[in-house]
Chains A and B, each alone.
Chain A
């Protein structure tokens, strides 16, 4: 890997950029499998401890909110095929782990996959990017509120976009149809859960997932993309908010994901270090201020 990077250090062509980027692709992102299954088991454990009276409900609420914050990224990794890597016989892992991981968030993996692929194909396009309506707003709190109109289908502009994609794209329709079955199970599951364990369902499931959806809207969409135009090297930026990168699920370096979605989340820091010259040459917002080493802590600018 390092030899490939060294050989292409002087060449900043697109071909050289791709050669370097490819050295970071193809592995199974086992970390995301552990996070996906692990956070779901922790969430179940919180339920168990609260229902058995081992853990007070207020403490369960705090722990469940933290645990649920980890539920989206494993599904996201599955949406991009990171959980199976280049192993075609393991493709089932992407949807299997992705869906289990999303139960605390009460979302369907296939529906999120369908819309997320369109987000990648049309980032920041007001007519075609499903995330546009909560991303391009004036304040972070608007992103935190608007994201719920997307996840719950309440935004007519988002609905119209979905209908257009359903008519035009058979793969998109197939994913939505596949995901609808699980969405229905989640819908009834929540009602059943509330009927038998009302306050627990409110404080361990409903409120945590709403808070986390807001967090996702702000940190995963609004901050990396707000106010940016359409364009492979222009649609995402490096950003800082004074909080260590780790506590933002590394979304401060989300630009790497948009540049090469096939690079696993946990490999992005190394990939950025190798691709930094290309990022600067392409004019990616914030790339010129990047440190040479991407640490686990604060994404400090020079």
Chain B
């Protein structure tokens, strides 16, 4: 149990910002995209916000932009 907890903690230390950007910023980008898109939404648009969030997270990790968290 302690080993799992340590692995989880290490994973979050390294990848927490990426997860945060994917879910937190991805949800926000997605909501903005939905609110500005007119007419029928394509399936791509449903995921575009989360893809943008993931890209932002990877970039933020490389740049150490922890303030995004």
Contact = CB atoms under 8 A, between A and B. Distances in A.
A267 B43 CA distance: 60
**Chain A facing B: main interface SS:** helix
Contacts of B65: 154
Contacts of A195: 23, 27
Q: Range of interface residues on chain B?
A: 10 to 19
Interface string A208-245: 00100000000000000000000000000000000000
Contacts of A199: 28, 31-32, 35
B23 A191 contact: yes
B23 A154 contact: no
A198 B69 CA distance: 15
A201 B28 contact: yes
Nearest to A145: B67
A190 B24 contact: yes
B39 to A, nearest CB: 21
A199 B20 CA distance: 15
Interface of A: 148-149, 152-154, 184, 187, 190-191, 194-195, 198-199, 201-202, 206, 210
Smallest CB-CB A-B distances: 8 pairs: A154-B66, A198-B31, A152-B66, A148-B67, A198-B27, A191-B23, A194-B24, A194-B27
Given A152-B67, A187-B12, A191-B19, 8 more contacts: A149-B67, A154-B64, A154-B66, A187-B20, A190-B20, A195-B23, A198-B27, A210-B67
Interface of B: 12, 16, 19-20, 23-25, 27-28, 30-32, 35, 64-67, 69
